[in-house]
Amino acid sequence: MEDKAYKNHMAGLQDGRKVDEPCTIVIFGASGDLTVRKLIPALYHLFIEGQMPESFRVVGFARREKTDESWRKEMRAGIEKYSRTCKVNNSQWQAFSKNICYHRGDLTDAVAYDALAERLTKSENNRLSSNLVFYLAISPSLFGEVVDQLHTAKLLNRYVEGDARWQRVVVEKPFGHDLKSAQLLNNHLMRHARERQIFRIDHYLGKETVQNIMMFRFSNAIFEQLWNREAIDHVQITVSEDIGVGSRGGYFEEVGSLRDMMQNHLLQIMSLVAMEPPPSLEAEDIRNEKVKLLKSIRKMTPEIVAQNVVRGQYFAGTVNEDSRNGYRQEERVDPESNVETFVAMKLFVDNWRWSDVPFYLRTGKNLPNRASEVRLQFRPTPNVLFAAQDNLDLHANALTLRLQPDEGISLRFNGKVPGNSIETRPVRMHFGYNAEFGAYTPEAYERLLLEAMAGDATLFIRRDEVEAAWQIVDSIRKGWGDTPLSNREFYAAGTWGPVAADDLLEVDNHVWHIPLPD
């Protein structure tokens, strides 16, 4: 049970849009790409939009030799290059940059953490020293080391009920590489922190349309009444990338698309789309329903894996008139590698709402365009009334939730073509965030950092969610075993995946929907 002080704190967050409590954010991995491309730009935009606390500090921790001023210059250049506005107002930057500083230290050096602790305590505002967010933008292999060092330096302790001070740890994916390693990492983190202090980040959950899935479902009776096996024929979830592995070949050889994308992004989206209505919008109520959904996915035996899961690997081709190497020709990739750069699967949710409704999930690299979408295709109408008409182009109704780019929602239905003849064609009603609200939707990291500072875990992944997803992925990997890729599992860069992925839907008389390009 949460203590009264904590509940009062959560109730005073002004609808989650403004963090009032002073805090310090310590970014481990301050010299890395994530910090300069995403984290500092996100914090800067939160600041200029008035969503940061009145008192805050950002401390970058890394081993390279830098001064406060040199790190600030690097971060400003990063904002100008990577942020959603790419413009920095001098007066706003001066006000923001006085709150950020750099701390040099090796992640394994206890002395560096002692010096960090001493630095953090030098503040006129005690809350800046006691309210701490530790963002681990580092290799997952170092997560355990860092939390151990923070605990030894008395910067991180398990929360005690009634304590007004708080510390939180934000960790990036990948969270383990299988169920066993995820469990070991969870156990390690929880030596020094409670579950409510750990924020496992998946940036897809910060996207506006992903967050809008629940609002769209549960506040619109016309759709929620159709959100079940009686009306929906099947569901497709696609996350496509138009880039290859690039310089990440060595990393990708260790993970592949199944671990890199399916275990977190796609299964998280599926859980939001298919979960039951939570009793409230409290973080734990929402996450309870997501876990129930993941645990309701039909067990993946080796026989089911062979029938319902397809992997693929790209060979040389052309994407948007750009020639691409094959995966086996990428840097630090085994020339005989069987690592998958594409995964497609058919899943079933064994509960009352979704019984026998197939969920098709796919993700891949070097596909024709970059897109993320959820498509719910409704059952077709009985072919009785219009059976005698030869010129009717009747399509099943479909609802598409587009997560990126051009976030929005569209509904496809059949309409009569104007004129004297009875001719139909599919038409689309489209809602776009930018067009409707006239504002750029915030970057995912802006929302996630804001919620981490506020202590709202709704958009973060709980321990049992992580482990439930790994159980699914591990069973698939076990089903694959050491079997090499077949000829039907290779695809040319610039195409929509291997022939085997089309076969997966063809047996059900379905076809993949092709997402629109940017």
Strand partners, 131: 166
Of 265, 430, 510, 513, the active-site residue reads: 265
Q: Does 265 qualify as catalytic in the annotation?
A: yes
Helix (H) or strand (E) holding 273: helix 267-274
338 backbone dihedrals φ, ψ, rounded to 5°: -110, 15
What CA–CA distance (Å, rounded) separates 490 from 512?
17
Kindly give the pairing relationship between strand 490-492 and strand 424-432.
unpaired
- CB contact set of 50 (below 8 Å; sequence gap of 6+): 18
List of long-range contacts for 506-513, beta carbons under 8 Å, 24+ apart? 508/234, 508/346, 508/358, 510/234, 510/358, 510/360, 510/377, 512/236, 512/238, 512/360, 512/362, 513/236, 513/238, 513/373, 513/375, 513/377, 513/398, 513/400
Q: Which two tokens stand for residue 15?
A: 């609808």
Whole-angstrom distance between the N-terminal and C-terminal Cα of the chain?
46
Q: At what angle do helices 463-480 and 267-274 cross, to 10 degrees?
A: 120
What CA–CA distance (Å, rounded) separates 34 from 106?
18
Of the candidates 502, 495, 484, 486, which has an alpha carbon nearest to the alpha carbon of residue 316? 495
Q: Which two tokens stand for residue 384?
A: 């009785």
Angstrom distances, CA of residue 145 to CA of 73, 78, 106, 141, 156: 29, 28, 11, 8, 13
Contact 439, 447 (CB under 8 A): no
Longest dimension (CA), the chain: 84
E strands, 105-253, in order: 131-136, 166-171, 198-200, 232-240
HEC assignment per residue over 141-167: HHHHHHHHHHHHCCCCCCCCCCCCCEE
134 backbone dihedrals φ, ψ, rounded to 5°: -105, 110
Contact 51, 16 (CB under 8 A): no
Show which residues are catalytic: 265
